[in-house]
């Protein structure tokens, strides 16, 4: 009887001790377990680009349309749309995380260069070169290799040395623009389509009979490249195809290669707007 009482008292004491120290024991083992867990650092957050409002895109388009109305010939239309390409490229740069200061620096340099131009062809060349450099920064900020970007822009500068006319310079900037667009397309996950467009543009270049046809062929490749980029960034297929259809319709009424060039520059301005907004 006494032994049973002793056992009961012992069990009561043990249970009481467990109750009292349960919380401390739990905290002790909790600390011990946490001490053995490998802490995984949180991944760095990549800052999103600026959200481009449709009103910003419409502002550029409105300016281009007003300039086109006042244009007296097809060459002035080219200047209007090539400037529009440059301004829309600035919005693309903002959407792809390029700083506003850097974009303003590049755009400012282009505007300074324009002061020294003496004709519309030189103006167009300045704007095409500016567009290429703005998009080069956008490509780099979007994740393209700086080596790849610099290789393209350096080759354009080297080619410039060997050009004899302002039209050859324009053709040179157009091929640079096309290859910069290819880098952006690859970053947007449409590399296979981009490669097919480059091949098609290369074949068209071989078949071109003069520098003007080269410009149109290279701009045609840029139109297709920006179309696939716009879709990859979320623009509706209907909007993209509408721009391409309008370009094809204008081609039917085009009497000269220069009018074809205007049609392609017009399409690029609109497609860049879709690339900037993603809608």
Residues 179 and 266 in one domain: yes
Question: Do the domain assignments include residue 127?
Answer: yes
Residues 60 and 33 in one domain: no
Residues 89 and 21 in one domain: no
Query: Residues 28-45: what's their mean pLDDT?
Result: 33
Q: Is 135 helix (H, G, I), strand (E, B) or coil?
A: helix
CA 56 from chain centre, in angstroms, equals 16
Residue 17: band (very low, low, confident or very high) from pLDDT cuts 50, 70, 90: very low
Residue 79: band (very low, low, confident or very high) from pLDDT cuts 50, 70, 90: very high
pLDDT at 22: 40
Q: Are 56 and 101 contacting, i.e. CB atoms less than 8 angstroms apart?
A: no
> Which of 133, 57, 124 minimizes the C-alpha distance to 102?
133
Question: Do the domain assignments include residue 66?
Answer: yes
pLDDT at 48: 55
Question: Do the domain assignments include residue 96?
Answer: yes
Question: Do the domain assignments include residue 3?
Answer: yes
pLDDT at 271: 98
Question: Do the domain assignments include residue 240?
Answer: yes
Domain enclosing residue 69, as ranges: 54-277
Query: Residues 115-139: what's their mean pLDDT?
Result: 95
Question: Do the domain assignments include residue 30?
Answer: yes
Query: Residues 232-250: what's their mean pLDDT?
Result: 97
d(CA 265, CA 86): 11
Within 10 angstroms of residue 198's Cβ, the number of other Cβ atoms is 18
d(CA 115, CA 184): 31
Ordered alpha helix ranges (H), 142-256: 146-161, 166-187, 191-207, 211-232, 237-252
Into how many domains does the chain fold? 2
Lowest-pLDDT range, 102-106, 173-177, 217-221, 259-263?
102-106
Residues 19 and 136 in one domain: no
Residues 70 and 124 in one domain: yes
Q: What angle do CA 212, 214, 216 make, to 5 degrees?
A: 75
Residues 108 and 217 in one domain: yes
Please say if the pLDDT value at position 54 is more than 70: yes
Residues 82 and 165 in one domain: yes
Residue 10: band (very low, low, confident or very high) from pLDDT cuts 50, 70, 90: very low
Which residues are within 8 A (CB) of 56 and not within 5 positions of it... i.e. 6 or more apart?
A: 91, 276
Residues 87 and 213 in one domain: yes
Query: Residues 11-35: what's their mean pLDDT?
Result: 40
Within 10 angstroms of residue 158's Cβ, the number of other Cβ atoms is 10
Query: Residues 72-98: what's their mean pLDDT?
Result: 95
pLDDT digits over 163-187, tens only? Answer: 999 999 999 999 999 999 999 999 9
Residues 115 and 245 in one domain: yes
d(CA 4, CA 146): 84
Residue 220 vs residue 25, higher pLDDT: 220
pLDDT digits over 181-218, tens only? Answer: 999 999 999 999 999 999 999 999 999 999 999 999 99
Q: How far is CA 165 from CA 130, 161, 213, 214, in A?
A: 18, 11, 15, 14
Residues 16 and 113 in one domain: no
Question: Do the domain assignments include residue 45?
Answer: no
Please say if the pLDDT value at position 154 is more than 80: yes
H helix or E strand, kind and range, residue 113: helix 100-115
pLDDT digits over 262-276, tens only? Answer: 999 999 999 999 999
Residues 139 and 1 in one domain: no
Residues 26 and 138 in one domain: no
Question: Do the domain assignments include residue 46?
Answer: no
């Amino acid at each position: 009887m006494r032994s049973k009482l002793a056992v009961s008292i012992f069990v009561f004491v043990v249970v009481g001790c467990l109750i009292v120290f349960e919380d401390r024991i739990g905290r002790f083992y909790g600390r011990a377990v946490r001490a053995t867990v490998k802490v995984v650092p949180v991944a760095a957050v990549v800052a999103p680009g600026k959200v481009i409002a449709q009103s910003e895109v419409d502002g550029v388009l409105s300016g281009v349309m007003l300039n086109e109305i006042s244009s007296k010939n097809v060459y002035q239309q080219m200047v209007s749309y090539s400037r529009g390409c440059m301004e829309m490229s600035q919005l693309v740069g903002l959407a792809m995380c390029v700083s506003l200061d850097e974009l303003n620096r590049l755009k400012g340099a282009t505007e300074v260069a324009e002061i020294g131009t003496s004709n519309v062809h030189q103006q167009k060349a300045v704007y095409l070169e500016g567009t290429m450099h703005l998009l080069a920064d956008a490509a780099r900020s979007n994740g393209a290799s700086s080596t790849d970007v610099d290789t393209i822009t350096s080759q354009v500068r080297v080619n410039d040395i060997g050009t004899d006319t302002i039209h050859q310079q324009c053709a040179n900037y157009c091929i640079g623009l096309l290859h910069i667009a290819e880098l952006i397309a690859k970053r947007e996950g449409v590399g296979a389509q981009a490669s097919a467009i480059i091949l098609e543009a290369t074949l068209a270049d071989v078949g071109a009979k003069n520098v003007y046809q080269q410009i149109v062929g290279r701009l045609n490749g840029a139109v297709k490249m920006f179309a696939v980029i716009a879709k990859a960034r979320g623009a509706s297929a209907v909007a993209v195809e509408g721009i391409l259809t309008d370009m094809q319709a204008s081609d039917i009424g085009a009497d000269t290669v220069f009018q074809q060039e205007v049609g392609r520059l017009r399409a690029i301005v609109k497609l860049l707007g879709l690339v900037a907004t993603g809608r």
